[in-house]
Amino acid sequence: MNRLQIYKTYWIRMVLLISIASFTLLFTTVTAAKNPPLSVTKFDVGENKTATRDIAQDSGWTLFNNSITGNKISMVSSGDGWILAYGGQTASLYRWNGVSWSSAGSVTHTQDIIRGDIQMVSANDGWIVLGGPLGESASSVIYRWNGTSWSQFGTYTDPNETSMSAISMVSASDGWIVSAGAFWTNYYHWNGSTWTKTATSSTYTENDIEMVSSTDGWAVGFAGQTVRWNGSAWSTVANPATSLNAIDMLTATDGWAVGNGGTIIHWNGATWSQATSPTTISLFDISMVSATDGWAVGDNGIMLHWDGSSWTKVTGPSSSRINAVNMVSTTDGWAVGWGGILHYDPSFPTLTANYTVGAPGSYFTFTGMDFPADSTATISVNGMILGNVTTDSNGEFQFLLSTDLAWVGAYFVTVSVNPSATIRFDLDVNADVRPQEGSGSTFDVPAGIAFTKFIYLPAILRN
């Protein structure tokens, strides 16, 4: 083989190596969450610290469980909540215990359930309403939770041909149920011992009810009506909407309602006004945390966020209809629909290194924070898996990389649980040899995997 052939062979090998390395870099930058519809990750190799996460996770929402679907959700706290899923004459129940959602039995109706709701007052007190088909024989069933089991509280048949659809509790001794039919809406009041029909209206407000206090509350309906309770009577209040599905009031002077076609209206204490909506997709539920934080969900997986000044569309992890959302706090919330259970947790894992550059033979110490607690995380360098590390109860860990065998070049260290984080370090013969620092498992970086050339491209993966 002559010198020219040797050079040709060498360059062919180098091109192949660079191509494979570039492909590996591109591949390893795509990190999938729990069944996201679209994953987009962009590497900026000019930064010494980068992190990868799919855009659904950038919004804070992940698909937590795709095997449980539901219609309504009511959270008691970050460690306790319920999902109601009805169909046919049975409504299935699922409960959150702070770690997982699991089946919690079911409740039944003698008729097909066309509407229903669940409202938890506390961990030991809660209510479910199930409404049957409208008509002369329409009936509704109420169940109550006593901290141990659900028991049927009563069956209600209304001469106005209505069935119960929504409930809102002010306290353990004060609450309201709305029951609507083709022409009438009835309002049932709980006084601590019995449910009593106290008012009947021709205004159709069957979709949701929200009590601010014992003397202030609202109900909304499919045709866009809003009615208000003033402590003695329910009366119609004008608004610009033509369709409303849900309402959430922060105070007597601050509240929101959403409906079909992306409708959003706001109450300022005096009037309802149309808010600018970033979507025309129907919205089915809304949950406000504060005057500067809230979420609305709806058809086709639509998720909107309120930041105190505007509603913006957020890419969520599901493309299916989301029926209900309930925020526990600004950093914790749940939603449920036909695509499963969605969880909101905006915490973003971080991965840091004690040095970003060193000579071959250096040791690099990596520290992870805000990862899922008590989980096994996979460590990879430039796409090659080196081993695993276990996160502690705070979601933290530490490990070291030895570069005795490694070549000069760039290295991208990725730690993956779900989500993942990535950081870059470089080996340079002109840099100092970094000594061993810190504690934890040590992994050897193998020879032949260094990156020396980069292509600045985003990686996009559709599942």
pLDDT digit string, tens, across residues 389-416: 999 998 999 999 999 999 999 999 999 9
Helix (H) or strand (E) holding 115: strand 115-122
Q: Output the pLDDT for position 34.
A: 30
- pLDDT tens, position by position, 287-336: 999 999 999 999 999 999 999 999 999 988 899 999 999 999 999 999 99
DSSP 8-state assignment for residue 4: H
Q: Output the pLDDT for position 13.
A: 36
Q: Is residue 16's pLDDT more than 70?
A: no
337 and 351 co-located in one domain: no
74 and 52 co-located in one domain: no
Q: Output the pLDDT for position 3.
A: 38
Domain CATH number, residue 130 = 2.130.10.10
More confident call, 144 vs 419: 144
More confident call, 336 vs 34: 336
Which among 344, 360, 388 is the end of a domain? 344
State which residues form the domain around 450.
3-57+347-462
Q: What confidence tier does 105 reach under pLDDT thresholds 50, 70, 90?
A: very high
Q: Output the pLDDT for position 186.
A: 93
Q: Which two tokens stand for residue 94?
A: 């699922």
Q: What confidence tier does 213 reach under pLDDT thresholds 50, 70, 90?
A: very high
Alpha-carbon gap, residue 60 to 307, rounded angstroms? 14
Q: Is residue 7's pLDDT more than 80?
A: no
280 and 362 co-located in one domain: no
Q: What confidence tier does 453 reach under pLDDT thresholds 50, 70, 90?
A: low
Q: List the single range of 103-117, 138-152, 279-293, 363-377 with lowest mean pLDDT.
A: 363-377
324 and 247 co-located in one domain: yes
Helix (H) or strand (E) holding 400: strand 397-402
Q: List the single range of 28-42, 73-87, 310-324 with lowest mean pLDDT.
A: 28-42
Q: Output the pLDDT for position 54.
A: 36
How many C-beta atoms lie closer than 10 Å to residue 449's C-beta?
18
Q: How far is CA 284 from CA 33, 265, 295, in A?
A: 25, 13, 11
Q: List the single range of 65-74, 147-156, 179-188 with lowest mean pLDDT.
A: 179-188
260 and 371 co-located in one domain: no
372 and 322 co-located in one domain: no
Reduced to 3 states (helix: H, G, I; strand: E, B; else coil), residue 112 is: coil
Q: Enumerate residues 6+ apart whose C-beta is below 8 A from 198.
A: 187, 188, 189
Share the mean pLDDT of the chain: 86
Spatial contact of 36 and 63, defined as CB atoms under 8 Å apart: yes
Reduced to 3 states (helix: H, G, I; strand: E, B; else coil), residue 258 is: strand
How far out from the chain centre does Cα 50 lie? 24
Alpha-carbon gap, residue 74 to 326, rounded angstroms? 6
Q: Is residue 127's pLDDT more than 90?
A: yes
Q: Output the pLDDT for position 259.
A: 98
233 and 357 co-located in one domain: no
Amino acid at 72: K
306 and 395 co-located in one domain: no
Domain CATH number, residue 375 = 2.60.40.1930
φ and ψ of 353, to 5 deg? -125, 150
255 and 368 co-located in one domain: no
261 and 124 co-located in one domain: yes
Specify the number of domains making up the chain. Answer: 2
397 and 307 co-located in one domain: no
Burial of 301 (0-12, 13-18, 19+ CB in 10 A): buried
Amino acid at 434: R
